[in-house]
Structure 1
Amino acid sequence: MLKKLIMFTGLLGGSVLFSGQALAAADFGPCTPEGGTHIFSATINKTVSDTSKNTTGATFVDFDSWNLGGTYAMSCECPDDTSLINDTLFKAVVPLAFVTNIESRSYYQINNNIAIASDVLISGGRGEYVNTPFENVGNLTNNRSQCSQNASSKDTIWTSGGKGHLSLYILHPFVGESIIPSTKIMDLFVTKKPSVYGSIPASSVYISGSITVPQGCELSSGSTLEIPFGEFKATDFKDRKGQVAKNATKFTKELQFKCTNISDGIKIFLRIEGMPNANDSNAIDMGNPDIGAVIEGANGKILVPNDASVNQELSVSGLVDDTHRTASTTISAYPISTTGKLPARPANCRPPGISRPANCRPPGISRELPPCVLMWSKQDEKPSCFDASVFTAYRFRDGGTV
């Protein structure tokens, strides 16, 4: 009795298997990749250039893309009747935690800081990028070239999954760099019959890399810091090469900076960039070869223009919010003689023919010489343009050198 039961079960199983084969040959069905799922791996290394958008909920549409090339072969279940044709349909599955949907794009979490939305190219007759996830999107090619009954079906070149775009969503603001480990963002399935898909994806897309938010500091007071040196006669510079002008004192100023996206433990240094004086490279050119301005750090060491080895470390606070810190340092500035001579009269500077030629300036005064500009004025009645000229306003710019 037991032996008969076993034989009956075997016959029944054979009958079910035979019926399944007959059904597959009578209808369309899923497509299966030859040799398993084709893997596309994209590397993403992008920078958020607008740091003001490093805020929760900020989106960056089409932030990056991939175009990887690579092909694979597939075969699809089709009926034996060669007069029957059907479209090829696609389904994209995103195996990540859903975050939000914004303007038809679905964002999924990558790590604690970022989420991404993706689209993928559906080629063929459609030739469009479709936002993921989706199901039963056809490529508008009604044919049988992928059918398993065709000997040439394995010669058909498939590229689905090889091209797409990424959009970025900020979950939590971050400083510096957000690392993306190798992460699957999509499985792409194919079929010849709506909603009937196999268990093996035709292709899978992975991304890895990093998203970087630039780090930087700017003066809290704005882009310009005024340093009033005071007023001096030309004779105050005579015979004082390399020395502070007579009756001048050092102007000391504490600089306050607002810093963005500075990671813990990062040190920040201030250095000076600008046009050095032709006669003394330690001094900043002021538009006259006989004078210059010297900037010292808090330790009294001269901050030589354009010398990266000479800098001043800033004192940096802890985070005041998710992305910002404050930083500060103290500098001193003073005018010096670079030649020991009476400063030369500015070329082509002529009194304008009024009793107080207050507009006497060297040529090109409107052209700024960052980080410092000398503005000239005339404050006596003498017709000579320079003999009693005074220096009234030196401007120090941060020059974006932090």
Structure 2
Amino acid sequence: FIAGGVNKYIPTPIEDKSNQNNQGFACNPGGSIFDTGSLGYISLYFTRPFVGQVTIPPTVILSVYGTRKTGSYSGIPLTQISMSGSVTVPQSCEINTGKAINIDFEDIAANHFKTAGQMPKDFSPHVVNMTVACTNISAGVKIALSFQGMADTNDSTALATTNRDIAVRIENITGVKIPVISGLLPVNFNYPSQTGDTTMKIYPINTTGNLPSGGGFTATATIQAEIE
């Protein structure tokens, strides 16, 4: 804001801008009577998408200098404007409309688990399609799914089960392993509709090379949407 004879908000940066006030007045020792720079507003523009929260530390964004002679200024500003704060983007994603994904491997003969790291003989991986619906996801922001659960002690990339010789392997549709906790399953995301989909393959594996004990086994993991 420039006062004097202008009395308008002027976009910055500016240099040698007159306040169009030619009236003289006596200096008041110890006083500081001026209005230029005492008002203003700020517009924020983000050059790239971000997620979560961005903190703006105390930052000087404008210094106002005054002079009676064009081009000749003191090194001490009349006033300085600084800003600080934070900007938060409220974002959320819902996986499979919030419904649990239950996978039943059905009956598997224990003697079919013979080789460590391999699925049972004649077993076909289960293919699971998942949907993702999000809000406030800007173009260019990546969405992926992670699997939070207990990793197997013999194969840290697989999900532990209640049977110490068996774990659950998760892969993407092309057969690339998705490690528990650290792995990410990419989502095909449509930004205009704010929806996406992805597919995983899942199957049990032997992790010890030992013949598993008989009986049922279970494993549990939480699927989280990761926004990058």
Aligned to 1:359: none
Alpha-carbon displacement from aligned partner over 1:18-58 (angstroms, at most 9, x marks no partner): xxxxxxxxxxxxx99734569xxxxxxxxxxxxxxxxxxxx
Asked if residue 219 in structure 1 is aligned to residue 95 in structure 2, the reply is yes
Aligned to 1:292: 167
Aligned to 2:207: 338
**Considering only CA atoms, is the larger Rg found in Structure 1 or Structure 2?**
1
**Which letter maps to 1:343?**
P
- Rounded Cα–Cα distance in structure 2 between residues aligned with 1:33 and 1:398: 65
**Cα deviation, residue 329, structure 1:** 1.1
Once the two structures are superposed, the pairs formed by residues 67-78 of structure 1 within 5 Å of their partners are none
SS at match of 1:390: coil
- Flag the structure with more relative contact order, 1 or 2, with Cα contacts below 8 A and sequence separation at least 6: 2
**Matching residue within 192, 202, 214 for 1:319:** 192
Answer yes or no: is the 8 Å Cα contact 1:229–1:248 preserved in 2.
Answer: no
Once the two structures are superposed, the pairs formed by residues 92-241 of structure 1 within 5 Å of their partners are 111=43, 176=51, 207-222=83-98, 224-237=100-113, 239-241=114-116
Q: Which has the higher helix share?
A: 1
Aligned to 2:72: none
**Cα deviation, residue 209, structure 1:** 4.7
Answer yes or no: is the 8 Å Cα contact 1:233–1:390 preserved in 2.
Answer: no
Answer yes or no: is the 8 Å Cα contact 2:60–2:80 preserved in 1.
Answer: no
Aligned to 2:216: 390
**Cα deviation, residue 317, structure 1:** 0.5
SS at match of 2:176: coil
Answer yes or no: is the 8 Å Cα contact 1:298–1:312 preserved in 2.
Answer: no
Counterparts in 2 of 1:175 and 1:241: CA distance versus 1, 3 Å: closer
Counterparts in 2 of 1:33 and 1:293: CA distance versus 1, 3 Å: farther
**Cα deviation, residue 297, structure 1:** 0.9
Counterparts in 2 of 1:112 and 1:278: CA distance versus 1, 3 Å: closer
- Rounded Cα–Cα distance in structure 1 between residues aligned with 2:185 and 2:30: 62
**Cα deviation, residue 305, structure 1:** 1.9
**Which letter maps to 1:341?**
N
Asked if residue 278 in structure 1 is aligned to residue 153 in structure 2, the reply is yes
Using the size of structure 2 for normalisation, the TM-score is 0.60
SS at match of 1:271: strand
- Rounded Cα–Cα distance in structure 2 between residues aligned with 1:221 and 1:398: 12
SS at match of 1:248: coil
**Cα deviation, residue 235, structure 1:** 3.0
Answer yes or no: is the 8 Å Cα contact 1:250–1:333 preserved in 2.
Answer: yes
Counterparts in 2 of 1:340 and 1:228: CA distance versus 1, 3 Å: same
Alpha-carbon displacement from aligned partner over 1:348-377 (angstroms, at most 9, x marks no partner): xxxxxxxxxxxxxxxxxxxxxxxxxxxxxx
Answer yes or no: is the 8 Å Cα contact 2:160–2:219 preserved in 1.
Answer: no
**Matching residue within 256, 276, 281 for 2:131:** 256
Q: Which has the higher strand share?
A: 1
**Which letter maps to 2:152?**
N
**Cα deviation, residue 301, structure 1:** 0.3
SS at match of 2:210: coil
Aligned to 1:304: 179
- Report runs of 4+ in structure 1 exceeding 6 Å deviation: 177-184
Aligned to 1:267: 142
- Rounded Cα–Cα distance in structure 2 between residues aligned with 1:33 and 1:335: 82
- Rounded Cα–Cα distance in structure 2 between residues aligned with 1:33 and 1:328: 68
**Which letter maps to 1:265?**
G
Counterparts in 2 of 1:207 and 1:112: CA distance versus 1, 3 Å: closer
Aligned to 1:8: none
Identical counterparts, % of pairs:
30
- The count of residues paired between Structure 1 and Structure 2 equals 178
**Which letter maps to 2:216?**
V
**Cα deviation, residue 246, structure 1:** 3.3
**Cα deviation, residue 261, structure 1:** 2.1
- Rounded Cα–Cα distance in structure 1 between residues aligned with 2:34 and 2:200: 63
Aligned to 1:34: 31
**Cα deviation, residue 395, structure 1:** 4.5
**Which letter maps to 1:244?**
M
Alpha-carbon displacement from aligned partner over 1:164-192 (angstroms, at most 9, x marks no partner): xxxxxxxxxx98579999899xxxxxxxx
